[in-house]
Amino acid sequence: MKFNINNLNPTQKKAVQSTDKPLLIFAGAGSGKTRVLTYKIAYLVEEKGISPKHILAVTFTNKAASEMKDRVQDLLPNQDVSRMSVGTFHSINARILRKEIHRLGYSNDFTIYDSDDSKRLIKSVILNHNLDVKQFEPKSVRTIISWFKNKMKTPEEIQNGANGFREENIAEIYNGYQIELKNNNAVDFDDLLVLPLDIFREYPERLNYYQSLYEFVLVDEYQDTNKPQFKFVYALSQKHRNICVVGDDDQSIYGWRGADIKNILDFEESFGDVEIVKLEQNYRSTQNILDAAFSVVSQNENRAPKKLWTENKKGELITVIESLDERDEARKILDTIQKEYSKNGKDLDNFVILYRTNAQSRPIEDQLRRNSIPYTIVGGVKFYDRKEVKDVLAYLRLIVNPLDSISFERIINFPVRGIGKTTVDKLKSFGKENNKSLFDTLQNSNELPIGQKQKQSIELFHKLIEFYRNQIDKETADNIINSLVDNLGLEEFYLTQETEESMERWENVNALISSITEFCERNENVGLKEFLEEVSLLSDIDEWNESRSSVTLMTLHSAKGLEFPIVFIAGMEDGLFPITSRLESEEDMEEERRLFYVGVTRAEEKVYLSYANSRRRFGGMPVSCIRSQFLDELPNKLVEFKSTRKRNVPIYQTNKSTHYRKSISNSPSSESKSNYQVGDVVSHKIFGTGTVLRVEGAGENAKLTVQFTGNVRKKIVAKFVK
């Protein structure tokens, strides 16, 4: 479709044409946001004469980025928009760092560590500090450090503010981790956001350069930006003051990774004289769907007041499906899909099944597979996270960046070449004493106290890597990987094991090879380095092919920005959605509500909400569940119930109490029948009597929100009340 501003409604038009001041577009779900953004870019190029290469547009996924570019290109057939900078914060920042990071003492061939790599590095730092990995679990330390970085706290700041044994040590680990990253010539996901800011601060002329380069800055999904992301767009836009951000505070769902809803709510405060446009007409969903979504999210205190409206018809009611357990749930969802498929002629790509946690996909997958329904799953165990894929990638990464000790340790003994832990430890201590990287110690095999066999093996490995290092710039990436896999004898390695698992692993290695080949066909004149960068920044949704005729399964988070005619949300249970297990504050609950809002507003025609009366976790015994409070927040007139035809036995009963996993739960006494309901009157030693407002979980460990006399509202564990 060619660019014509009259394809827009008046508000959208205003959003496109307003270019004098920093602009905030509140874009509700389904309000034509993508259209406005693409039109705006087209308008900037066509009407304002801004060259595409001077435009920076930030999107939430790489997929959204390439789609945006394509759409703008379609709108402007006479222009070439290929030089426009469109991408995620991470990919745009990675590109900047490839050019600039040498200023910070890294080399431009740096490796990007994923969470698993960071975790390994953090673990080694913990061990080097002679700390106990039981007490300082690498995984949770990584989460904490990531949080620090997303809040832009430097190791020094954390060290200065640390109190007590644990905090002081975590600060130490953080500090050590940053040093080690640099030694490895590696950055993690969070560094990608933070390091460019360090460069801007220390080298103002570089900031100046990028400020001049980007005459116009656009940011999508602005409600999910965190502090460094805000600083980045803020810094870049200071020269031209041409910035346009688009977002919806009701759809902010990444608070747990530092996203700050204040960025959007305080836009005016940050950017001064600004223009604000609200897109409130929804073109996607039926009235009933919008009403249902609104009824839940509007219970949040912390939101900008607004309400979507639509000219669409009322449509069908929201259907709530009750099931016995997760397998029954899967069956019922499948039945519903089949019904819609045969009766209403809905093709499979009309359906999406959303859930709160990736683990929920399994029973649904099983059911779909049993019935030969094609499905596509987004997320879960990622292709590039599989062990065999990471092993081969580790070779490629070490070839590009020999300082990368994490990759080195992955492959020094894969496939097995007789270099065990003891030998690696010797290499490590030699490296430490002589201030050499692990890879460089290989050159000194003569000086190492190791056996003849190990020595030979090491020299061979060293030669192999060096050989390919010389090939990087001479050979294409697919030639390198083919030759490498050949050289390592991986085919034989996997096929001689003759297990189903090893066959599958070999398949995956082949899939990796094809993805490199495909990458080489897609991009001319680029090599191994570029491939590795793309791979490390790829998200699950980027690989999702919507045109395929299959049912889609994904988490609610992944569904952001997408739309489907028919949406299922599975696992509408207390403790699962909303997740209450670690819910610490009302803010967390509000984010869950927004997540529900995002889920429901993905739907164009019909929403099914499903819950089970019992569910097993970790493959253990089934645990009974209570339906989600969100279901009770929906007005009755919008909902139709499809309940299990059951007698009045509401809850699944395990046949023997011995099946309760008492030893694991921290319940001190016997299972009491403390199943409270909303409205029950309870008494408490300290607070006196009160009424139950909300029940989370079941049994004596359930959390009750109780309104006590004297306007006291408390959250209390069930076993403490009578």
220 is a catalytic site residue: yes
The catalytic residue among 251, 286, 336, 601 is: 251
356 near DNA, rule: CB under 7 A: yes
Rounded to the nearest whole angstrom, what is the least distance from the CB of residue 573 to DNA in the complex?
Answer: 12
Least distance CB 592 / DNA (angstroms): 8
Assess 611 for contact with DNA (CB under 7 A).
no
Q: Is 455 a catalytic residue?
A: no
Stretch that binds DNA, among 16-24, 132-140, 655-663, 667-675 (CB under 7 A): 132-140
Residues 114 and 189: beta-carbon distance below 8 Å: yes
Smaller CB separation from DNA, 22 or 575: 575
| DSSP, residue by residue, 548-602 | SSSEEEEETTTTTT--EEEEEE---BTTTSS--TT--SHHHHHHHHHHHHHHHTT
User: What amino acid occupies position 55?
Assistant: I
Q: What number of other Cβ atoms are within 10 A of residue 499's Cβ?
A: 9
Q: How far is CA 700 from CA 145, 545, 622, 680, 713, in A?
A: 35, 46, 17, 15, 19
Among 541, 551, 562, 570, binds DNA (CB under 7 A): 541
Of these residues, 123, 397, 594, 602, which one is catalytic? 602
Stretch that binds DNA, among 170-178, 316-324, 509-517, 616-624 (CB under 7 A): 616-624
Tell me, yes or no, if 251 is annotated catalytic. Answer: yes
What DSSP designation does 700 have? G
The rounded distance, in Å, linking the Cα atoms of 577 and 628 is 6
Q: DSSP code of 488?
A: H
Sole binder of DNA in the list 272, 619, 668, 679 (CB under 7 A): 619
The site string for DNA over 80-109 (x = CB under 7 A, - otherwise) reads --------x-xx------------------
DSSP string spanning 76-126?
Answer: -TTS--TTSEEE-HHHHHHHHHHHHGGGGT--TTPEEE-HHHHHHHHHHHH
Nearest alpha-carbon partner for 181 in 258, 89, 97: 97
Q: Which residue of 21, 98, 103, 139 would you call a contact of DNA, by CB under 7 A?
A: 139
Q: Per the structure block, which two tokens stand in for 679?
A: 């409205």
Cα 403 from Cα 431, distance rounded (Å): 12
| Rounded-to-integer distance, Cα 126 and Cα 136, Å | 7
Residue (182 or 327) nearer to DNA, CB: 327
**By CB under 7 A, which span of 15-23, 410-418, 513-521, 689-697 interacts with DNA?**
410-418
Binding mask 28-57 for DNA (x = CB under 7 A): ------------------------------
Residues of this chain, 365-394, that bind DNA according to CB under 7 A: 379, 381, 387
Q: Pick from 17, 298, 539, 691: which binds DNA (CB under 7 A)?
A: 539
Q: Tell me, yes or no, if 440 is annotated catalytic.
A: no
617 lies in the binding site for DNA (CB under 7 A): yes
Q: Which of residues 194-213 bind DNA (CB under 7 A)?
A: none
- CB-neighbour burial class of residue 346 (10 A; exposed 0-12, middle 13-18, buried 19+): middle
Q: Which of 53, 95, 103, 257 binds DNA (CB under 7 A)?
A: 257
In the complex, minimum distance from the CB of residue 273 to DNA, in angstroms, rounded to a whole number: 32
Residues 6+ apart with CB under 8 A from 298: 307
Q: How far is CA 431 from CA 175, 424, 428, 443, in A?
A: 20, 10, 5, 11
Smallest distance, DNA to C-beta of residue 172, A: 21
Residue of 11, 19, 34, 281 marked active site: 34
Residue closer to DNA (CB basis): 454 or 601: 454
Distance CA 221, CA 27 (A): 9
Kindly tell me which of 46 and 588 has the beta carbon lying closer to DNA.
588
* Angle at alpha carbon of residue 373, lines to 371 and 378, rounded to 5°: 125
Question: Which one of the listed residues 221, 326, 340, 533 is annotated catalytic?
Answer: 221
Q: Which is nearer to DNA, 229 or 286 (CB)?
A: 229
Location of structure tokens 């900008």? 304
Q: Binding-site residue total for DNA (CB under 7 A)?
A: 47
Shorter beta-carbon distance to DNA: residue 31 or 226: 226
State yes or no: residue 357 binds DNA (CB under 7 A).
yes
Site for DNA contains 662 (CB under 7 A): no
State the alpha helices, DSSP H only, in 401-489.
Answer: 405-411, 421-434, 438-441, 452-469, 477-488
Residue 602 annotated as catalytic: yes
User: C-beta of 147: minimal distance to DNA in Å?
Assistant: 10
Distance from C-alpha of 653 to C-alpha of 614, rounded to nearest angstrom: 9
Contact 210, 56 (CB under 8 A): no
489 binds DNA (CB under 7 A): no
Q: Is 130 exposed, middle or buried (0-12, 13-18, 19+ CB in 10 A)?
A: exposed
* Residue 112, strand partner residues: 187
Which amino acid, 190? D
Q: Reply yes or no on whether 123 is catalytic.
A: no
Place of tokens 């309104």: 707
Binding mask 411-450 for DNA (x = CB under 7 A): --x--xxxxxxxx---------------------------
Q: What x/- string results for residues 570 through 599 when contact with DNA is judged by CB under 7 A?
A: ---------x-xx-----x-----------
Active site residue ranges: 33-34, 220-221, 251, 602
Binding site for DNA (CB under 7 A): 61, 88, 90-91, 114-115, 133-134, 139, 189-190, 253, 256-257, 356-359, 379, 381, 387, 413, 416-423, 454, 537, 539-541, 554-555, 557-558, 579, 581-582, 588, 617-620
